[in-house]
Structure 1
Amino acid sequence: MFYLASKIAWFFATPSNLLASLVLLGIVLGMTKRCRRLGQGIALSGALALLAFGLLPVSSALLKPLEERFPAFRDDGRPVDGIILLGGAVEASDSLSRGSLAANESAERVLDTLTLARRYPKARILISGGGGTVFGDGAAEAPVIAAYLEGVGIDPARIVVEDRSRTTAENATFTRALIDPAKGERWLLVTSAWHMPRAMGVFRKAGLDVVAYPVDYRTGAGEDALRPFAFVSDGLRRLDVAAKEWAGLVAYYAAGKTPALLPAP
């Protein structure tokens, strides 16, 4: 129920959808005599907001605190016993229909996991990512990624597939059921930097002491992080990502799925 409600609510609350809907609503109201002025005002406000949020670095300012919450991983020479890769980097249905890996803008999750797998040849690799849509089940992502890793030379015996999860909370719960790290074992958690605070929170809640390995940064360092966008679509896409993640943090904390509103190192 939580999954279904969150997906439906977010469809209507997504900033780009919401602003475009305001423009459309304003146009419709502007075609009526009684609400012509109101409609024109709503349409104009929505259009200006689309331009402002699409071109100004508002979304970067929202995303940067999330991406910098957990520092980049630094190899200190200690052994790594396992690597946990969270799904969200591959379009499973497209990959299966094309017979080739179809990665999205979070492809670094898979690429960095491959690098780690070769750097730590004895580490186990758990891939967590099921499939799901609001009105039915989709293709699971984890088996697709597992097949890709095997195809580029990773020993299948090292790979554990968790293909039931549809949310970050389920990633943690189902992963906990599959692995039982011994005391002192070191497991890396690979996910997007902007998603790492929420991921670390739910894994801690599930009783898994993991080490953050953030990848897939969307903002630059220093002043570059707050430069305007050249295309409205780029700014709106980043705004959708930032707004969804902040909303997820609030919802997870309110539901007791994470021990802190903004988990920290």
Structure 2
Amino acid sequence: MASVALIVLAVILGRALVRRRAVLARWQVIPGWIAVAAMLVLAVALSPGEFELRKFVGACLMPAGLVWLGLLAFARILARRAGRPLAGVALALWLLFTLAGNAWLGNFALERLQRGYANVDPLGQGQFDAVLVLGGGVEVSDDGSPTLTAAGDRVVLAVRLFRAGRTPLLLATGPYLLLPGGVATSNAAATAAIWMQLGVPEGSIVLLEGPRTTTDEVLALKTAVAERGWQRVGLLTSAWHLPRAMRLCRRYGVEAVPLPADAVGTPPPRLRFLVPQQDGFQSVQTACWETLGMLAGR
């Protein structure tokens, strides 16, 4: 983290020197640039080493990194040729792009969402009549084969709960899908297929096909509980998704025990995470989507 702080300070000092070069004497400018160089050298010395520097350079050469550097250079060019207003707009766009793809910010937001659920042990919550796994953990390829998504931990955790004897029934949910060639299936059926491949008997799986949103899934669970008379059910989804899901359960009068999967943690203080990247965009968007969903009551 010290290397990151030194780089930021070097950038701030360098920018100040460039902006005030017309009013500063040479004897004032030269020590300033020596200080900038010294901070950058110290940042390299304090960095984890050549491996981390390669990762940083590689991140800068990726499409998002090139756009990030290009926006910063564009803001600098506008500052010199078009004046401060346009440069300020370009700099604001650069800052927005930086935040939108920042892995630290995205994971911090997700950690705030999952607070209160992340430390819950799903295997230590007792016995259930059934456990509902919310959709999103599986996707279906064009040939109909199911694959796990980034949220696939919830699908595997459900099997662990079943194998540990915590529940006799696993509930899969998800919308209907029409594959190329007119073949119909559903995300719920895809989840069930993976469970059976992992040794869960078909008779221990209940499909709740059709729901497209979290609200639909909660309402489908409410109907299933009323029809089957289950007394204690678990609701299994990503830890950061549980606040919205449990809020909907309370709204519609569904009593369910939250079971968190794939809780996220803050990325380590590495130089590469200064650069906007895929993981950052994904986590920031997920956090924004969950927050928007809660505000909209969906």
- Fold in common (TM above 0.5): yes
Amino acid at match of 2:208: E
Report if aligned partners of 1:188, 1:212 keep a CA contact under 8 Å in 2.
yes
Alignment correspondent of 1:232: 276
Of 79, 87, 103, 2:135 maps to: 87
1:49 aligns with 2:96: yes
Distance in 1 between residues matched to 2:122 and 2:102, nearest whole Å: 34
Q: Which has the larger radius of gyration?
A: 2
CA distances 1:123-172 after superposition (whole Å, capped 9, x unpaired): 21111211479xxxx95210111122122221111211111111100001
Given the alignment of the two structures, is residue 73 of structure 1 paired with residue 121 of structure 2, yes or no?
yes
Give the CA deviation at 1:90: 1.2
Q: Which residue type is aligned with residue 101 of structure 1?
A: P
Which structure: greater helix fraction? 2
TM-score normalised according to structure 1 size: 0.69
Structure 1 unaligned regions, length at least 5: 1-15, 258-265
- Would you say 1:177 and 2:223 are equivalent positions? yes
Shift of 1:56: 6.3
- State the 1:68 CA deviation: 1.6
The CA RMSD over aligned residues, in Å, is: 3.4
Q: Taking structure 1 as reference, are residues 39 and 131 closer, same or farther at Cα in structure 2, changes over 3 Å only?
A: farther
Match for 2:200 among 154, 168, 178? 154
Query: Mind listing any 5+ residue stretches in structure 2 that lack a counterpart?
Result: 1-63, 179-183
1:168 equivalent to 2:211? Answer no
> Is 60-69 or 47-56 further displaced after alignment?
47-56
Deviation at 1:214, TM superposition (A): 0.5
Distance 2:170 2:103 in 1: 40
Q: Deviations over 1:5-55 (max 9, x none)?
A: xxxxxxxxxxx9xx99xx7xx99xx9xxxx998666434421232124433
Amino acid at match of 1:242: A
Offset, 1:121: 6.7
Change (3 A) 1:63 1:227: farther
- The alignment's TM-score, normalised by the length of structure 2, stands at 0.62
Shift in CA distance, 106/76, structure 1 to aligned 2, threshold 3 Å: closer
> Amino acid of the residue matched to residue 149 of structure 2?
N
Count residues in correspondence: 215
Would you say the 8 A contact 1:64–1:225 is kept in 2?
Answer: no
- Residue 174 of structure 2, aligned match among 129, 136, 151: 129
- Residue matched to 1:241: 286
Q: 2:90 & 2:185 partners in 1: Cα distance?
A: 39
Q: 1:214 to 1:48 in 2, by over 3 A?
A: same
Q: Secondary structure at the match of 1:194?
A: coil
Per-residue CA deviations over 1:79-124 (Å, capped at 9, x if unaligned) read 22111100001112x1xx3453321110101010111111127521
Within 2, Cα distance between the matches of 1:122 and 1:110?
A: 14
Cα distance, 1:77 vs. partner?
7.5
Give the counterpart letter for 2:172 in structure 1.
I
- Give the direction of change, closer, same or farther, for the CA distance of 1:73–1:47 in structure 2 (3 Å limit): same
